[in-house]
Amino acid sequence: MTRRIPALALLQTLFGAVAFAATLAPASAADDLARIEHERVLRVAIPTDFPPYGFVDTSMKPQGLDVSMAEYVARQLHVKAELVPATSSNRIPYLQSGKVELVISTLGKTAEREKVIDFSHAYSPFFLAVYGPSSMSIHDPAQLAGKSIAVTRGSVEDLQLTKVAPASTRIQRFGDNASTISAFVSGQVELVATGVSVAATMIQHNPALHAQLKFVLKDSPNFIGMAKNQPALLARVNAIVDHAKADGELDKLSEHWLGRPAGKLPR
């Protein structure tokens, strides 16, 4: 014989099941903006070994464009910024695991990344370019013909350079950025293809080279990353970025750290 469950007991059972299911929900399903405002802390993944976007000064304090942007966003939210050092390989896992709410770490937007995280409007420029001495007149890829150029093997700039360089270009590939820059600084090659951050440091430390940007290989602006399914946080961060763009704050940060204004950035 089937037993009947009293209506009140049935409701209690159902509510209990719902409450239990809620405890099993992934952390990313929570409202990150509500948590930030409640705890008054914004956890942000930042770079600490990628000047001028993120590095530590002589007092071991984080500095750089991305650090300044993280602190700016926190101020606009009226909360404290908790800066979490991250690398290219762990910054997205930090978002997915709930260790941070935002990634402000020279993060470019790609179709693959958009499958797993969301992006704000762009907040700063980042580009890959060919650099060489001011005495050398080169304005486009065709003029690389017959020239020697260093690039880091397997990098995005390597892929872009390979696409546009004439067949007679002598491309020399190195295992890391330090070796690539060393080849150019020592005169082993005539030109170098690298990112703006690496080039800025190279030019600062080697003024006698009179190195300058020759042409841009690829524009790849930086975006703020956050976990999927965070519409409130996404809308708030976009509003902050748009305000910073309108009142000149993005241009000011870019001018200070990159030596050029942010200019027109994509949404």
Tens digit of pLDDT for each residue in 151-203?
A: 999 888 998 999 999 999 999 999 988 899 999 999 999 999 998 888 988 99
More confident residue, 18 or 141: 141
* pLDDT computed for residue 3 by the predictor: 44
86 confidence band (pLDDT: 50, 70, 90): very high
* pLDDT computed for residue 4 by the predictor: 46
Q: Tokens in use for 14?
A: 């159902």
Q: What does the mean pLDDT of the chain come to?
A: 88
For tokens 């993060």, the residue is: 107
More confident residue, 33 or 58: 33
CA 263, distance to chain mean position in Å, is 17
Round to whole Å and give the CA distance between 141 and 143: 5
Residue 226 has pLDDT above 70, yes or no: yes
* pLDDT computed for residue 10 by the predictor: 45
* pLDDT computed for residue 177 by the predictor: 87
Average pLDDT value for residue range 231-236? 98
Query: How do residues 71-84 score in pLDDT, each as one tens digit?
Result: 999 999 999 999 99
The contacts of residue 225 (CB under 8 Å, 6+ apart) are 91, 92, 95, 102, 103, 107, 113, 117, 118, 119, 120
Residue 14 has pLDDT above 80, yes or no: no
* pLDDT computed for residue 19 by the predictor: 44
* pLDDT computed for residue 89 by the predictor: 82
Residue 129 has pLDDT above 80, yes or no: yes
Contact 222/123 with Cβ under 8 angstroms?
yes
Residue % of the chain over a pLDDT of 70: 89
* pLDDT computed for residue 201 by the predictor: 85
* pLDDT computed for residue 30 by the predictor: 75
Residue 23 has pLDDT above 70, yes or no: no
Residue 16 has pLDDT above 80, yes or no: no
Q: Tokens in use for 136?
A: 């050398």
Task: Calculate the alpha carbon distances from 142 to 43, 134, 151, 187 in Å.
Answer: 46, 18, 17, 22
* pLDDT computed for residue 267 by the predictor: 86
Query: How do residues 46-62 score in pLDDT, each as one tens digit?
Result: 999 888 899 998 899 99
Round to whole Å and give the CA distance between 189 and 173: 11
